[in-house]
Structure 1
Amino acid sequence: MDSESSYNAFTSYYPRLELDIKNDLLNFEATPEMIERILPGTDFNDSLQEQAIILGWCVELLQAFFLVADDIMDDSPMRRGKPSWFKTPGIGMIAINDSFIIEAVIYRLIKKHFRSASYYIDLVELFQEVTFQTELGQMVDLTTAPEHVDLSKFSIENHTFIVKYKTAFYSFYLPVALSFLICNMDSINPAFAIAKEILVPMGVYFQVQDDYLDLYGDVNITGKVGTDIEDNKCSWLVIKALEICTPEQRSVIETHYGRKSSSDIAIVKQVYDQIDLKSVYLSYSAETELKLSNQIKNIDPSIVNPQVFEIFLKKISNRQK
Structure 2
Amino acid sequence: MATSLAKFGEVFPILVEDLKSICAEQDNLPDQVLQWFEKTLQYNVVGGKCNRGLSVVDTTQILLGRDLTSAEYFESATLGWMIELLQAMFLVLDDIMDGSTTRRGQPCWYRQPDVGMMAVNDAPMLESAIYLLLKKHFRAHPAYLDLVETFHEVAFQIEVGQTYDMLTERRQNLDEFDQARYDAIVTYKTAYYSFYLPVALALHYTGRGTPGNLQQAKEVLVAMGHYFQVQDDYLDNFADPAVLGKIGTDIPDGKCSWLVVQALKLCTDEQRAVLKTNYGRVAECDTKVCERRVKDLYADMGLDRVYYDEGLRKGVFTAFLEKIYGRKK
Could you tell me the TM-score, scaled by structure 2's length? 0.86
Partner of 1:244: 266
Q: Matched residues in 2 for 1:55 and 1:209: separation?
A: 26
Partner of 1:174: 197
Show the 5 A alignment for 1:163-312. 163-188=186-211, 190-260=212-282, 261-285=287-311, 287-297=312-322, 300=325
Show the 5 A alignment for 1:9-88. 9-27=7-25, 28-40=27-39, 41=42, 45-88=69-112
Q: Of Structure 1 and Structure 2, which has the larger fraction of its residues in helix?
A: 2
Q: Matched residues in 1 for 2:127 and 2:227: separation?
A: 26
Provide Cα deviations, 1:89-113, integer angstroms capped at 9, x if missing partner: 1100000100011111100100111
> What is the RMSD of the two structures over their aligned residues, measured on CA atoms?
1.9
Partner of 1:145: 169
Q: Matched residues in 2 for 1:247 and 1:106: separation?
A: 50
Long gaps (5+) in structure 2: 48-68
Equivalent residues of 2:200, 2:209 under 8 A apart: no
Secondary structure in 1 aligned to 2:250?
coil
Aligned-pair identity in percent equals: 42
Equivalent residues of 1:48, 1:182 under 8 A apart: no
Q: Which residue identity is paired with 1:13? A: V
Q: Matched residues in 1 for 2:218 and 2:256: separation?
A: 24
Equivalent residues of 2:174, 2:276 under 8 A apart: yes
Partner of 2:56: none
Q: Matched residues in 1 for 2:297 and 2:150: separation?
A: 43
Deviation (angstroms), 1:24: 1.4
Long gaps (5+) in structure 1: 304-321
Q: Matched residues in 1 for 2:147 and 2:213: separation?
A: 16
**Structure 2 vs 1, CA of residues 302 and 58 (structure 1 numbering), >3 Å: closer, same or farther?**
farther
Deviating beyond 6 angstroms after TM superposition, the runs of 4 or more aligned structure 1 residues are: none
Secondary structure in 2 aligned to 1:158?
helix
Q: Which residue identity is paired with 1:51? A: E
